[in-house]
Structure 1
Amino acid sequence: MKLDLQFFAQQMHAKDTVSASLAECFVTIEGNRYNFMQAINLEAKFEKNKTEVPILGKTGKGNKATGWKGSGSATFHYNTSIFRELLVRFKENGEDVYFDIQVTNEDPTSSVGRQTIILKDCNLDGGILTKFDADAEYLDEDIDFTFEDFEMPEKFNILAGMQ
């Protein structure tokens, strides 16, 4: 049996990692699109809801996906009142405003191209109303949110050697 050594020689190039800071983040609230250049980081997660399924003839149970939920967190520089305005609206009249977040990752030195994810119907879990820190270099704020849908209009290229 002859091994194809060329298959084993394929390795990812360091240049094909995606720079952590080369991204764009846009938030769309009620038709107004904001460039959230004050974002420091953002992470959105997709979690499957699973149900254990008993199976006759097996000592273990199977797992069946029965739905999903989306949640996320982000850190921003503390220099915008946009999200606080949504909290005020909820406090004043119970109006819970949903919004979209679009994130595009693209590193021009990488051959993977760009990926865009749009998180749909995002909703804040809460937020910081005010803060100060006399010992800090700058102020930032963390937010947690949920989302109800997402789209991926652009996806990364498959790297050479992956197929």
Structure 2
Amino acid sequence: MRPLLLTGPPAAGKSTTARALAAGLPLAAVVDVDDIRQLVVSGHAAPWQGVAGADQQLIGVENAGDLARRFAAAGIDVVIADVLTPDTAARYRAGVPGVLIVHLQVSLTEARRRATRRPVHLTDDEFVLLHSSQPDDRALYDHVIDVDGLDHAAQVEAVRRVWS
């Protein structure tokens, strides 16, 4: 299948959905871009933390793209999980041939509810910032799935339908 990129605000279920989709396939990999960015241990900066954060964000995108291309070339289905900006969306489109970008749309209320069931990695201000900064331009995405009210299984199935 073509590479799949799941995007959306924090607690939309990108990583969880990516892992469930990959686990249901005979040979698949998950590239969670948060994991790639956190490889920078000393001097790590989040994407919203100035020039260093923006630079590290782009390095993460480039490395995710490299991994996705290599997995795909080896016949391994790949799912990428990342929070996109218009710039990073364009970079994925250019760097990952045939990538299918699916935006998991979730309300701030539902995202906060979901976030209570996972470890906290963001401050509340960062959580709101990332949620509110999601690009409104639907042209960036191939599909938008409203995941409010969907349980885990239904969310995975909704994504599976658009991917296959």
TM-score by length of 1: 0.22
Question: Whose relative contact order is higher, 1 or 2, with alpha carbons under 8 Å and at least 6 apart?
Answer: 2
Larger radius of gyration: 1
